[in-house]
Homo-oligomer: A and B are copies of this chain.
C-alpha cells in the first residue's frame, strides 16, 4: 500500500502492467497476467497495490505527467499565442493517437467502473487546461483574440480535441476523411473561432 515506487517489486509490477497495457490493451490487463509475467503469484500485487484500480491509478499518474510534459514543451516552444495553441493542440492529439492506452485510462474509462481517481490528482490534470487558458489570455491581451472567458474557451478546445482523439482511436470516423485533414481542420477551427478578425490560419 505504500505509494512510493521503491521496494523493487513495485517498480517491476508497474513496468509490467504498463507493458501489458500497451500490448494487450486495458480490457485484457489482468492481475494474474501481470503476476505470471514477473514470476510472482497474483496476490503478491495486493501487497503493493490495494486493488486493480490503485494500480491503474498509478499508470494514470504516469500518463498525466507525460502528457503534461509534452504540452509544456509545445507551450515553451514559442511566445506567440497562436503558435503555442496550435502546437499544444497537435501535441495533445498526438499523445492521444500514439498512446491510446494511456489516453483510454486517463480520459475514456468510465469513472463508475473505477473507484474515483483522487480529486487532488485531477487538479494535476487540470494544469493542462490552465496552460491553454493562459495562452488564450495572452492572445486576448495582445489584441489578437476576441475577449471571451478563456477557461470556457479552453474547455471548448479540449472537448473538440478529445472528440477527435476518441473518434479516431475507436475508428468511427469515415476513412474517406484522412485523419491528418481532420486534425489540421480541428486545430485551425478552434483558433479561428478565437480570432478577432476573419484572418485564416494555416496549420
Contacts and interface: CB of A to CB of B under 8 A. Distances in A.
A174 B189 contact: no
Interface string A180-199: 01100110010011000110
Contacts of A109: 170
A1 interface: no
A159 B177 contact: no
B156 A186 contact: yes
Main secondary structure of the interface of A (DSSP, over half): helix
B193 A152 contact: no
A41 to B, nearest CB: 27
A173 interface: yes
A175 to B, nearest CB: 11
A155 interface: yes
A155 B185 CA distance: 10
Contacts of A160: 159-160, 163
Interface string A81-114: 0000000000000000000000010011111110
Nearest to A155: B177
A12 interface: no
10 contacts: A108-B108, A111-B170, A111-B172, A152-B181, A152-B185, A158-B167, A159-B160, A159-B163, A159-B173, A161-B163
